[in-house]
Amino acid sequence: MVYNALMRALLRDLLRQRLRTVLTVCGVGLGIFTVFVFGALGEHFRLTVVEARDYAGGLVRLYTKTNAEGVNPGVSPETLRRIEAMPEVRCLSPSLVLLLDGFDLESDPLLWLRPQALVEGLEADKAEAVRGQGLRLLAGRWLRAGDRRVAMVVDWLAERRGLRLGAPVTIRHQDYEVVGIYHAPDTPAVPAAIVPYAQLNERFLRPEVERARRFFRGLRRHPLLAPYLPPTLDPAALDALAEGFAHQQASLFRIYEIVPRDRSPAGTQALAEALRAQEPELAVIDPRSIREAMERAVALFLVLTLIVTVLSALVGGLLVVNTMAMAVVERRREIGVKAALGATPAQIAREFVAEAALLAMGGALLGMALGALAVAACEPYLLDRLETGASLFRITPRLCAFSLGTALATGVLAGGIPAYRASRTDPAVCLREL
Amino acid sequence: MSSATELAIRGARVRKVYPSPAGEVVALAGLDLEVAPGEFVAVTGPSGCGKTTLLNLLGALDRPSDGRLEVFGADLARLDPRAAALYRRREVGFVFQQFHLVPTLTALENVALPLRYAGVPARERRRRAAALLDAVGLAPRAGHFPAILSGGERQRVAVARALVGGARLLLADEPTGNLDGATARDIVRLLRERAAERTLLLVTHDPEVAALAERRLRLRDGHLEADSGRDSGGPLSAVVEGTRSDPVPENAPGPQGPAGPARGGDPDAPTTR
């Protein structure tokens, strides 16, 4: 009841100059709108880091890396066998990650500039062990041994393409049957579909092998090289050479996901350290380094959000200062009367600060409402264009609290200056100014 | 001479000087004044003689430049802004010529305003404000804003506001200046009735209003020119060096003409010396 009466009085004071109040609220609202929309994008990236931590948790990844001679040797089968034999290793699966719809710059000239939906090939019997911790199965089942032309798809892809269990889905111009639908964190590099590794690898390698074969067979007809090749050279030997070369090239695309026996952070980290010691020529990526790399990438965006917030708060603050300074000038007589009635300087200042805070909070609510509407209106369009992930903006309680807090702090700080002036006003002078 | 503890107001050689680019402006020039608790005193005098300045000093809205001024034992020259506010809250009720109601508050909220600053709980302040509005005959207008009240009604609200905090000293600065004769008398009667136990200093240009007071002080050029003393008892001493303390006949003309200028006359302004 007390707050109702106080709120009514503050609102009436603000409504004395309706146009000015409305314009100030709109100005603050515009600032908070910017903070809110940028913040929603920032929340997306922040949560991406959090979710990436969960997604990558409990796994160690192995890559090839360029050695001191500038050669990228790939990961040999012997190395893989050595790793699988380690007591800390539960299982290992190659992972081939490719563009879901293939590479086609004609249909998407900006393909390099934006995130793309991906498909991952995992050994079918190890898919659950590798991804079971990072992904949540919503319907159907995981891949299992013997699976060939089957796929698991992420929920947002199933929704957009109208896919159900048992329905066909086209991945890289090949039809698969949907056997599972999962929910994935909205993180870059998280696959929109998972298919058996053998199937995807074969599909990916076949053209590479053909290309290599054509090249090697062409050597026999090459005017400079043909005289040096023995006439007895078996074409089948050339084909085998071509296939080996293609496999070697393709191995550079492969990642190896290693599941530790102990999937706790400490256990995973211990396995990573053991691998680094055992295989110094390979790149060993542990969850901690993934998280740190993502945090560094997101930090830039968070700094941008902070700059936008500060600028918006400054602009909104100046509007509030201006409005409240005018209110103090207009109400000098009232200030004198209130002082005569026993209001202390602090009480007078508090009234103006509360009014400024209310003004800013009005702007905050307007800005947040407009921001939420803008996000709701734009996101389906943007997601449809990008076809990646389930959301670009995240409106979270934390973001709402941050926006309101920014507005409140702006109002209190900006209102403080005129309020201080009001509290220092000489009541006798105010009452004489009639 | 009464002892300080028995007096509501005790002023000794009170001076108030305002600096200005044109030279010092002396509003009060060494005023000696004593007022007993419960006394109803009318302060008259021509414009610029220091009436409003005296009220501002007594209400701790301003500080004397020199001299000593005590109200109920409080030395007003030594109050800092916060202490002055607390003093006003506890001891003083103001009634102004221009009513000075807050336009965005209803009659009831205006009356309750001093209680809000005093930290009285909402329910209690509504109860007390409503009771006072009822006492001044404005209960049906409690929810109305000042803009739709008549001048007399506004001043009734202002009187209720001055009384609601239980102030022992009421300072009324030409409270009838903007009212017609009948309403003016009504307001003064109301003040007398409701403030019977309180000390009331009422600045007025209206001789009829001044005549309703127990005692009349006449100021001129910052000096106390005359003091009628108490109608009901012996005159209290209120003497300024070089001025008389004899009772002043009502409507006695001063050096600048009749004591009662037209209603709604210019507000008090200091005299340049």
Pick from A60-69, A355-364, B84-93: least confident: A60-69
Q: Which residues of B touch A16 (CB under 8 A)?
A: 103-104
Cα angle for residues A352, A357, A359 (degrees, 5° grid): 95
* Cβ separation A431–B61 shorter than 8 A: yes
Residue of B nearest to A350 (CA): B117
**Contact yes or no for B156/B137 (Cβ under 8 A):** yes
pLDDT confidence of residue A36: 92
User: How large is the average pLDDT for residues A40-44?
Assistant: 87
Please indicate, yes or no, whether residues A314 and A404 belong to a single structural domain of this protein.
Answer: yes
| Cβ–Cβ contact A347 with B under 8 A | yes
Q: How confident is the model at residue B244 (pLDDT cuts 50, 70, 90)?
A: very low
Asked, for residue A37, whether it belongs to a domain, the answer is: yes
Would you call A192 helix, strand, or coil by DSSP? coil
Which among A13, A345, A426 has CB closest to B82? A345
Name the minimum distance, in Å, from the CA of A308 to any CA of chain B. Answer: 37
Please indicate, yes or no, whether residues A188 and A251 belong to a single structural domain of this protein.
Answer: yes
pLDDT exceeds 50 at position A22: yes
* Cβ separation B118–A431 shorter than 8 A: no
Cα angle for residues B130, B104, B94 (degrees, 5° grid): 60
Q: Would you say the C-alpha torsion B157, B160, B164, B170 has a positive or negative sign?
A: positive
Residue of B nearest to A433 (CA): B267
Please indicate, yes or no, whether residues A135 and A22 belong to a single structural domain of this protein.
Answer: no
Prediction ipTM score: 0.78
Please indicate, yes or no, whether residues A106 and A243 belong to a single structural domain of this protein.
Answer: yes
Q: Which residues of A touch B59 (CB under 8 A)?
A: 340
Q: How confident is the model at residue A2 (pLDDT cuts 50, 70, 90)?
A: low
Decide the pairing of beta strands A283-285 and B25-35: unpaired
**DSSP of B37-76:** TT-EEEEE--TTSSHHHHHHHHTTSS--SEEEEEETTEEG
| Cβ–Cβ contact A18 with B under 8 A | no
- The domain locations on chain B are 37-64+81-235+242-253
Q: Is B22 exposed, middle or buried (0-12, 13-18, 19+ CB in 10 A)?
A: exposed
Share of chain B above pLDDT 70, in %: 82
The candidate with the shortest Cα–Cα distance to A387, out of A105, A164, A160, is A160
User: How large is the average pLDDT for residues B114-136?
Assistant: 91
* C-alpha to C-alpha distance for A204 and A198, rounded to whole angstroms: 10
Would you call B19 helix, strand, or coil by DSSP? coil
Which of A338, A341, A434 to mutate against chain B (most B CBs within 10 Å)? A341
| Cβ–Cβ contact B113 with A under 8 A | yes
Q: What is the mean pLDDT of chain B?
A: 80
Interfacial B residues in 143-202 facing A (CB < 8 Å):
161, 165
Please indicate, yes or no, whether residues A21 and A152 belong to a single structural domain of this protein.
Answer: no
pLDDT digits (tens, 9 = 90+) for A195-244: 999 989 888 887 778 888 888 778 777 788 777 777 777 778 778 887 77
The residue that leads in pLDDT, A319 or B254, is: A319
Name the minimum distance, in Å, from the CA of A412 to any CA of chain B. Answer: 21
pLDDT exceeds 60 at position A127: yes
**Contact yes or no for B211/B250 (Cβ under 8 A):** yes
* C-alpha to C-alpha distance for A403 and A375, rounded to whole angstroms: 15
Please indicate, yes or no, whether residues A182 and A329 belong to a single structural domain of this protein.
Answer: no
* Cβ separation B100–A428 shorter than 8 A: no
Residue of B nearest to A333 (CA): B100
Which of B52, B62, B104 to mutate against chain A (most A CBs within 10 Å)? B104
Please indicate, yes or no, whether residues A313 and A218 belong to a single structural domain of this protein.
Answer: no
* Cβ separation A342–B100 shorter than 8 A: no
Please indicate, yes or no, whether residues A229 and A324 belong to a single structural domain of this protein.
Answer: no
Q: What is the mean pLDDT of chain A?
A: 86
Q: Which residues contact A70 (CB under 8 A, 6 or more apart)?
A: none
* Cβ separation A341–B88 shorter than 8 A: yes
Please indicate, yes or no, whether residues A97 and A150 belong to a single structural domain of this protein.
Answer: yes
Please indicate, yes or no, whether residues A238 and A105 belong to a single structural domain of this protein.
Answer: yes
Q: Write out the residue range of the structural domain in which residue A225 sits.
A: 89-260
Asked, for residue A384, whether it belongs to a domain, the answer is: yes
Decide the pairing of beta strands B40-44 and B199-203: parallel
| Joined tokens for residue B38 | 């419960």
The candidate with the shortest Cα–Cα distance to B89, out of B68, B119, B66, B62, is B119
**Contact yes or no for A14/A361 (Cβ under 8 A):** no
* C-alpha to C-alpha distance for B71 and A369, rounded to whole angstroms: 56
The candidate with the shortest Cα–Cα distance to A420, out of A409, A410, A431, A412, is A412
Asked, for residue A414, whether it belongs to a domain, the answer is: yes
Question: Which of A208, A241, A260 represents a domain boundary (last residue)?
Answer: A260
**Contact yes or no for B272/B27 (Cβ under 8 A):** no
* Cβ separation B85–A2 shorter than 8 A: no
- What is the count of structural domains for chain A? 2
Q: How confident is the model at residue A93 (pLDDT cuts 50, 70, 90)?
A: very high
* Cβ separation A340–B61 shorter than 8 A: yes
Asked, for residue A145, whether it belongs to a domain, the answer is: yes
* Cβ separation B59–A340 shorter than 8 A: yes
The residue that leads in pLDDT, A133 or B5, is: A133
Interface A–B counts its CB contacts (< 8 A) at 79
The candidate with the shortest Cα–Cα distance to A200, out of A111, A61, A95, A93, is A95
Please indicate, yes or no, whether residues A313 and A196 belong to a single structural domain of this protein.
Answer: no
* C-alpha to C-alpha distance for A122 and A97, rounded to whole angstroms: 9
Identify the bridge partners of residue A137 per DSSP, sorted by sequence position.
A182
* C-alpha to C-alpha distance for B47 and B267, rounded to whole angstroms: 7
| Cβ–Cβ contact B100 with A under 8 A | yes
* Cβ separation B81–A344 shorter than 8 A: yes
pLDDT confidence of residue A141: 96
Could you say which DSSP state residue A146 is in?
Answer: T
* C-alpha to C-alpha distance for B46 and B132, rounded to whole angstroms: 34
Identify the bridge partners of residue B74 per DSSP, sorted by sequence position.
B71
Share of chain A above pLDDT 70, in %: 96
pLDDT exceeds 70 at position A387: no
CATH number of B37-64+81-235+242-253: 3.40.50.300
**Contact yes or no for A104/A111 (Cβ under 8 A):** yes
Please indicate, yes or no, whether residues A25 and A103 belong to a single structural domain of this protein.
Answer: no
Name the minimum distance, in Å, from the CA of B246 to any CA of chain A. Answer: 32
Q: How many CA atoms lie within 13 A of A330 on its CB side?
A: 14
Q: Which residues of B touch A344 (CB under 8 A)?
A: 81-82, 85-86, 117
* Cβ separation B61–A345 shorter than 8 A: no
Would you call A164 helix, strand, or coil by DSSP? coil
| Cβ–Cβ contact B117 with A under 8 A | yes
* Cβ separation A338–B96 shorter than 8 A: no
Q: Which residues of A touch B104 (CB under 8 A)?
A: 9, 12-13, 16
pLDDT confidence of residue B262: 31
Which among B85, B96, B104 has CB closest to A342? B85
